[in-house]
Structures are given as structure tokens and as C-alpha cells.
Structure 1
Amino acid sequence: MSEGVVSGAAYKAGELERERFTRLNFRHNFLIMLADSISFQLATSLMSQVTILPLFVREITDSTLAVGLITAIASLGTLLPAIFVAGYIEQKAIQKWYLFIVALIERFPILALSILTPLLGRSNPDLLLWVFFGAWTMHNLAMGLNMPSYFNLFSKVIPPNRRGITWGLGGTIGGLLAILGSSLSGVLLERYGFPDAFALIFFIAFVILFVGILGFPFTRELPSEDVTRHRSILEYLRRAPKLLLEDREFGLFVGAQAIYTLAFMASAFYTAYAIDRFGASPQQVALFTTILMGSNTVANLLYGTLADRRGNKIVLQVAMSSGVIAPLIAAMAPSIEWFYIVFALNGLMIVGSNMGSSNMPLEFAPPGQVPTYSSINMAITAPLRSLVPILGGVIAGYGYVIIFVIAMMAALLALLVTSMLVRDPRFTRSTKL
């Protein structure tokens, strides 16, 4: 066991033996998952799709459509492919090798960007733009193909009452390091400019991402006993709507998540509204960012502890409540100082939503069906998350307050559905480790 090798006899271990194995190896597996979480957050802060990647694209083109594609590709690429591979992943008794190999594939487009950016940045920037979007698409598609396997392995090796702190501690440490990562990107951009600074950013991000997954092959994982039979993709897709109807509470949970995507519309426009309405200075905008990152860092640890002790439903309820209050304050704010509260609440909303919506499907799922449940949730919310920023951009022409009202009502409706119709599966279903 010390080398992570599992004998054939262990395959027939009973539920109690599997629980014992998981708990005995929790610390080892926890550190592997934590390293991946921290490295991912640090790397993504270096090449932030909110700041750094839009700046990279704007160095090449003035097209706002090109800038908008960054987020759209990330949302669709990471969330939509999962539904097509979930059935295949459910057939695999061991997850770690698939996860590791696809994670390697996921990282190499970033390495390619680090090599090609200085070569094409000066000689053929138009071609570099195509290369960037090709690499960005491959990176996110590979991530999407890996999501069901990651959640399946995570649910196997991390006990339900330790998943919150695993996410939370990773988010807290990653958030603190992300501040350093953002600062490093700024220093590189100031010193080297385009294209060399971006080449360095991509290379450093690749190294961090690569190191973060080196622990996956050493994960101590028992083979799954409840491996499903082979299903065609068409059969699998036909099964998804039926599952949502048969598992009523999971269907209501996914429905609430779909409604809740509209609440994220407001997040993209708080800064723009503060500038237009109150003349926010660059220093005040920088303070908004600091408050948001600070809120994210604290929220990760608090939500992680709360999720382990009280379940993930209450985490979602707190996050959704923040999603109701933040746009309400923004719409009624008499001065810019109120936006400090708005950004603090926005951080609570984002972190709690990500943690709760990722963890709850793992507990809704019967043994062996974690990839199916997590993939259905991602596949339904992915297109909506991609369309919401575009919809917000259209509505913004009629006034930011309309966006805030829509976001507030969506968060309120999602909160009511979740609170009144969805029970926490941690306490209503038997969760096998």
C-alpha cells in the first residue's frame, strides 16, 4: 500500500474496508489534490483570462469579438465535452492514469504558445492570433475531457466530510499565491513588453501546471467495484434527460443552477458601472480587485469548513444570498464606497457557487455514476455561462441597473428552489467512498 499498489484481493473489499483504505490514505491523496489545486490557481493567475489574455489579444487586434472569444472558449471547452466522455470514464476501474495523460495533453498547448509567441509576435502577428486561439481551444477541450475523471477520482480518494477543506485550503493558498502571480505578470509586462513578456508568462505557467500534476500517478486509489457497461454516446445522451426526471432532486438542483447562471451577469459590469456612475479612479478599481481577491481567499477557507461540517447546500445558500444582496446594493448605491461591499459579496458568491455546485453532484451520484452526474450538471450550465456575458453586453445598452435587477431576481429564484425543494444529499443519501 505504501507505494500506491493495490492487490487484486483489495478489489473485492467491502464498503467498510474501502472506507478504511480511503481514510488511511487520505493525507497522502489530500496533498496530491492540494498540489494540483494550488498550481492551477497560481498558473491561471499568471495568464488570467480576465486581464492578461485579453491584453495579449488586444496587442494583436482591436476586435472586441476576439476578446470575448477567450471567455466563451474557456466556458464551452471546459464544461461541454464532459457529457461525451462520462460514459467511457465510468467504465474505467482506475482513474489516475487517464487523468494524468489527458492532463499532460492539456498543458502542452501552453508550452507551444511560449515557443511560438516570440517567433510570430514580430513577424506574423495575425498568424499568432490564430495559433493562440487554436492552442487555447485545445487546452480547454482537454480540460473538459478530464473533468469527469478528476471529479470521479476526487470523490473516490477524498471522504465527503473532507472535500470542503480540500477545496477551501487549496483556494486559500492558491489565492494568496495568485496575488504574487498577478504581480509577477505585471513586472514581466513592464520590463519586456509584447511579445517576450507573454512568452515568459506562458512558459512559467506551463512549468507550474506541469509540476502540479506529477503527483497523480502516485495517487492511492482502489479500483471501482461498480464499473458500468459500455454505452454508446448516443445512448448516453438519451439517458441524461431521463435521469434528470427520475432523480427529481438532482433535476431540481440542476434547474436551479441553470437559473443561477444569470446571476453571474452582474459580476462583469460592477466595475464599468462604478466608473460610469461615480467616476471610479484607477486606484479605486485596483482596490476593488484587492477586495475581491481578499474575499475569495477568506471565503475558500470558511466555505470549506462549513461544507465539511454542515454540507454543501448551506454553502450554496450563503453564496446565492450574496448573489441577491450584491446587485441590490449596486443598483441602489448612493456613493462609490458601497461598491467595496459589493465586491466583497461578489467574492463570497463566486467561491461558494463554485465549491457547492462542484461538490453536490458527487454526493447526489450513486456509486459508479459520479462522471454522469457531474457531466450533466456541467453540460447544461456551460452554454448558459457562455451566453450570459453576451446577453449582458446587449442589455448594458439599456442600462446597467437592468442587469443588476435580472441578476438579483435569478439569484433569489435559485435560492428559493434550492432551499425549499432540494435536500442536501450528504444527509439524505448513502454516500460510498
Structure 2
Amino acid sequence: MGAPMFFVGLLVPIREALALIPQILVGGYIRHFAVRKWFWVIGSAIEGASILAMGLLAMFGVSGSLAGWLIIGLLVLFSCARGVASVAAKDTLGKTVSKGKRGKVSGYAATLSGIVACAVGAYFALAPSDFRPDWLLYGLLILAGISWFAAATAYARIPELPGATEGARGISDLLTAQIKLLLQDRELQKFLLARALMIATALVGPVYVTLAQSRTGQELSALGWLMLATGLASTLSASFWGALSDYSSRATMAMAAAIAGILGFAVLAASYLLPAAMTHIGFYAAVLFILGIAHAGVRIGRKTHIVDLAGGDRKAEYVAVSNTLIGILLLMIGGLVSILLSFGAEAAIAALSTMALLGALTAYRLTHAQAPD
């Protein structure tokens, strides 16, 4: 859509941060309602409307900075709705699906979405250019928006028993409890520092895609390789990372973040030593595949670590503090990455790769959360 590079660095931070930050606030508010599925229904409808509007903007040829700001605005709306839906989904799942089956339900959903992502990515990556017109991408966005409306309709039909409304806490009480926990728990502080540095593994993906588009001139193909590579990488490596994180979550995070950091500097070295390789889309496919493996390790490792680190009934508190703080940091770091992108993708890759390596070192120095009590 011809938007300046500045906007690329904002996409992931806004998408992730604004889905994380409101969760603790929504979690306290939603507790006042006995039936909570309607929060998901409304959230899904807003998500669908946001994506549908993005597709229409592209289809009608809106471009330049105007397109960038409109997309950012719609993404803000989408992400906030996503955060609300996330809280409601976890609550509704607990009341509608029996214990022992919830993981399977989530697993089936993740597998199906992964298959769809890989199929779409494979088409954009491998189909001849004549079969990849620009309008196809816009059409997919519109179709995705319609799918969210269909999901909202289906979710509204789920029978949900009223839940308890006792124990609901005000926003000020929730925030006070979070700040107190953060200031008192030294190990949580170190974990959050490691997680903040490892944000780089999520932010660097779009930068590689931008670099691929500028060096190869294959915009839709580059996007397709991103979808295919990350989908395959996550699917193929999840079992390995899961087993390793059960043994040592800190080692999992450290290894995965180190892979992402080393990969970044390898790409920078290749841009100077092997410039011809930088013009082939296959080079970026390999880079994105390796990054996908690394990012999957970081995600699985940190999720395992925070749950195993929390003692007794404090898991929800630890997750709430972690998500809120990381959401704020995502916005700040994303803004810095956007500024760096103004100087070129290489500058952003160098900074994010350094962050990943520092995150690996910090993660390795964490307490062994899987040690017997």
C-alpha cells in the first residue's frame, strides 16, 4: 500500500501489546457478569470489522501515510478486541469444556489454524506470479473478516451456565496488587527482564520480510514464505521445545533466543559477504524457518517457566503482571524499532539480534524452575 517503513515496526508491537495490556483490567471487570461469552462475541465481531475494513482500504487503493495511519488505527481496535476475547475465551472454556479435554480443544484449534496458514502461505510462496494478483490478498482479508463474524455467530449459540460473580476486584486493587508483587519478587523481575529482551524474536520477523521484499521485489511471495516457514517451524519444533522446557525452561529460552540472535548477525554478514544470495527468496525462506523454530522455543520456554516459577495459587497473578508489563514494553521497543527502520532494515536487525543474545544470557542465569521443591 506504499506506506513508509516506519509503520512496519509498529505492526507487531501494537498487535501484541494492546492484546496484553487490557487483559488484567478486563479480567477484573468481566468477573461482575455471570455469563461472559458475550464479551467474546462482541470482541470477535469488532475483530472481524477491523480486518474487513483493512481489506476494503487496500481494495479501494488507499495508499501512502494515510493508509499507514488508518491501518494502525484499525489494528489498535483489533488488538484491544482480541485482548477482551482472550480473557472471555479462557473463562468460557473453563465452564463449557470439562477438565482433561480443554488442552485437546485448544490443540485442535491450533492445528487447524496452522494447516490453513501453511496452505495459504504455500500458495503465495510457490504459485506463479500470474496466479497471485494483488486483489487476492485483499480478498483474503475480507474473507477473514467475514469468518470472524461467522465465529461470533457460532459462539453466541454455545450454552454457558452462569458463573460466580463474588470476588470481583476493582481496577485500583488489581493494579496495586500487581505493583506490590513486582517490587517484592526478585526472581520475577529477572524473568521479566529476560522476556523483555527476548521480545526481539517476535519483532524481527516483519523486518526480514521487509528486507526480502526490497532485495527480491517479490512482495506476495515473501509474505507467503513467512507464513509457510513460521507455520512449519512451529509445528515441527513444538514437541522438542516442549520436552526440553519440561526439563529446563531457562535452557530452552536461552538456546532459542541465542539461535535468533546468531541468525540475525549471520544475515548481516551475508548481506556484505554474499550479496548475490540476498536476491534469492529461498535465502529468506530459510532465515524465516530458523527464526520460526527459535521463536517457538522462546514462547514455549517462557510459558513453562512462568507457570513452574509461580508457587501455590499465584500462577494467575504472575501471568497478569508479566503480560501487563511486557505489553507496555512492546510498545516502547516497537517505537524504537520503527525509528531504526528509517535508517534501514539492517540497523533494526542488528539491534534486535543484540537484544536476543542479551536475552539468552539473562534467561540462562535464571533460577532452575523445574528443580524439585
TM-score (norm 2): 0.71
Mapped partners of 2:352, 2:338: distance in 1: 13
Look up the match of 1:331.
268
1:343 Cα deviation from its structure 2 partner: 2.1
Of residues 231-240 and 107-116 in structure 1, the stretch that sits farther from structure 2 once superposed is 107-116
Look up the match of 1:410.
355
Matched, 1:254 2:192: yes
Alignment counterpart, residue 243 of structure 1, candidates 151, 172, 181: 181
Describe the superposition over 1:14-63 as per-residue Cα deviations: whole angstroms up to 9, x where unpaired: xxxxxxxxxxxxxxxxxxxxxxxxxxxxxxxxxxxxxxxxxxxx3xx857
Describe the superposition over 1:182-236 as per-residue Cα deviations: whole angstroms up to 9, x where unpaired: 578999984966976643342134325765x5797579xxx99xx9955432232
Is the partner of 1:268 in helix, strand or coil? helix
Query: Quick one: which amino acid aligns to residue 204 of structure 1?
Result: S
Contact 1:73 1:140 in 2 (8 A): yes
Look up the match of 2:247.
310
Query: Quick one: which amino acid aligns to residue 385 of structure 1?
Result: L
Look up the match of 2:149.
206
Contact 2:18 2:83 in 1 (8 A): yes
1:117 Cα deviation from its structure 2 partner: 8.4
Is the partner of 2:198 in helix, strand or coil? helix
Describe the superposition over 1:68-92 as per-residue Cα deviations: whole angstroms up to 9, x where unpaired: 6654542332011123234456x68
Describe the superposition over 1:229-276 as per-residue Cα deviations: whole angstroms up to 9, x where unpaired: 554322322222321232322221112111222454433322444566
Is the partner of 2:365 in helix, strand or coil? helix
Mapped partners of 2:289, 2:324: distance in 1: 29
Look up the match of 1:77.
18
Identity of aligned residues (%): 18
TM-score (norm 1): 0.63
Mapped partners of 1:403, 1:427: distance in 2: 37
Look up the match of 2:117.
178
Mapped partners of 1:415, 1:118: distance in 2: 38
Provide the alpha-carbon RMSD of the alignment.
4.7
Of residues 131-140 and 70-79 in structure 1, the stretch that sits farther from structure 2 once superposed is 131-140
Contact 1:259 1:414 in 2 (8 A): yes
1:355 Cα deviation from its structure 2 partner: 2.8
Contact 2:39 2:88 in 1 (8 A): no
Query: Quick one: which amino acid aligns to residue 356 of structure 2?
Result: A
Alignment counterpart, residue 172 of structure 2, candidates 234, 243, 251: 234
Contact 2:41 2:156 in 1 (8 A): no
Query: Quick one: which amino acid aligns to residue 329 of structure 1?
Result: A
Contact 1:252 1:421 in 2 (8 A): yes
Distance 1:131 1:286, change over 3 A: closer
Mapped partners of 1:370, 1:93: distance in 2: 23
Query: Quick one: which amino acid aligns to residue 355 of structure 1?
Result: I
Contact 1:316 1:353 in 2 (8 A): yes
Contact 1:79 1:379 in 2 (8 A): yes
Distance 1:325 1:287, change over 3 A: farther
1:108 Cα deviation from its structure 2 partner: 1.1
Contact 1:249 1:423 in 2 (8 A): no
Contact 1:313 1:356 in 2 (8 A): yes
Describe the superposition over 1:361-407 as per-residue Cα deviations: whole angstroms up to 9, x where unpaired: 33334454433221211111113223334322322444544433332
1:107 Cα deviation from its structure 2 partner: 1.0
Of residues 127-136 and 347-356 in structure 1, the stretch that sits farther from structure 2 once superposed is 127-136
Query: Quick one: which amino acid aligns to residue 241 of structure 2?
Result: Y
Of residues 255-264 and 134-143 in structure 1, the stretch that sits farther from structure 2 once superposed is 134-143
Alignment counterpart, residue 379 of structure 1, candidates 305, 312, 324: 324
Describe the superposition over 1:325-356 as per-residue Cα deviations: whole angstroms up to 9, x where unpaired: 21121122233276554322210122222333
Which 5+ residue runs of structure 2 have no aligned equivalent? none
Query: Quick one: which amino acid aligns to residue 23 of structure 2?
Result: A
Counterparts in 2 of 1:243-322, with a 5 A limit? Answer: 243-274=181-212, 279-280=215-216, 282=218, 285=222, 288-289=225-226, 290-307=228-245, 309-310=246-247, 312-322=249-259
Mapped partners of 1:125, 1:403: distance in 2: 27
Contact 1:316 1:357 in 2 (8 A): yes
Which 5+ residue runs of structure 1 have no aligned equivalent? 1-57
Look up the match of 1:101.
38
Mapped partners of 1:404, 1:69: distance in 2: 15
Distance 1:63 1:305, change over 3 A: same
Mapped partners of 1:261, 1:252: distance in 2: 15
Contact 1:244 1:250 in 2 (8 A): yes
Mapped partners of 2:38, 2:131: distance in 1: 31
1:168 Cα deviation from its structure 2 partner: 6.8
